Amino acid sequence: MASRDENMKRTNRVLRISQLDALELNKALEQLVWSQFTQCFHGFKPGLLARFEPEVKAFLWLFLWRFTVYSKSATVGQSVLNIQYRNDFSPNLRYQPLSKNQKLWYAVCTIGGKWLEERCYDLFRNRHVASFRKAKQCVNLVVGLLKLGRLINFLIFLQRGKFATLTERLLGIRSVFCRPQNVREVGFEYMNRELLWHSFAEFLIFLLPLVNIQKLKAKLSSWCIPLTRAPSSDSTLATSGRQCSLCGEWPTMPHTIGCEHVFCYYCVKSSFLFDVSFACPKCGTEVHSLQPLKSGIEMTEVNAL
């Protein structure tokens, strides 16, 4: 019997990461609700809600609390992750929902605490009277002690895995699974394959920008399609000057780089500015000098057409 109870505890124990994920989901929901609510007053006078912002936020969070923690003993983030609160003060090993007092005190500590902190900040922000200074120092001391308590509670939570927040520890409410979780067996071969492909994809994303694709393409073209180099002459230029060796269109402002091939001025100039060691993709000749094609050759090409 004891071993059975121990197995039930292990099965229903909520992972630390699941409890932290539930808290993050709650924060994301609050931000989403507030942004949607402020958009309703987008066409009104600017700063309309600024004066009563803490009260409006407290009303919205109270509305969410009524239909989540009060009715289901679970926040929205916990409901998504199949988690709910359990009364840890109950001696019964079976699941016991939160009592009414625990739910009310949860609202006071979470919603009332946030409202009080924001309202006190607005109250002491522009007051410079000596009495207000003392009150502000007392409030700052209390806030500092609460933050220290939250830090200590979080360290204990990382060690033991219970009570992710200080409010949960003080009220004795613990996160448990709504339904017992089945033990899943994960094949590590699939995980290793996914990790391998993910690492390889990241390596390619890092490596590809460093590779000069244009130069590599020119090298492969010169190897796969070897051409016999003919001596540079006006007739050869006239024959091969009917299309640009880069774009394949009729050359605009035709230029040569020292070989028998012709290029558009903008094609060869942009390629040379991109890569100083640019070479002809047809024959592999490097750029020695960028020279315009002679007008006589251009007329010969036009007559040949």
What are the backbone dihedrals phi and psi of residue 207, each rounded to the nearest 5 degrees, phi first? -85, -40
Which helix (H) or strand (E) element contains residue 169?
helix 166-171
Instruction: Give tens-digit pLDDT for 90-105.
Output: 887 788 889 999 999 9
Instruction: Give tens-digit pLDDT for 105-114.
Output: 999 999 998 8
* Alpha-carbon span 171 to 156, nearest angstrom: 16
Confidence of residue 24 (pLDDT cuts 50, 70, 90): very high
Per DSSP, the residues of 170-224 read HHTEEEEESSPPPPPPPPHHHHHHHHHHHHHHHHHHHHGGGS-HHHHHHHHHHHH
Give the pLDDT score at 224: 66
Instruction: Give tens-digit pLDDT for 268-303.
Output: 888 777 777 777 777 777 776 777 876 544 444 444
- Report whether 269 contacts 247 (CB < 8 A): no
Spell out the domains of the chain, with CATH numbers in brackets: 7-181 (no CATH), 242-295 (3.30.40.10)
Higher pLDDT, 229 or 61: 61
Instruction: Give tens-digit pLDDT for 205-253.
Output: 888 777 767 667 766 766 665 544 444 444 444 455 677 877 878 888 8
The whole model's pTM is what?
0.56
- Tell me the average pLDDT of the chain: 78
The share of the chain scoring above pLDDT 70, in percent, equals: 77
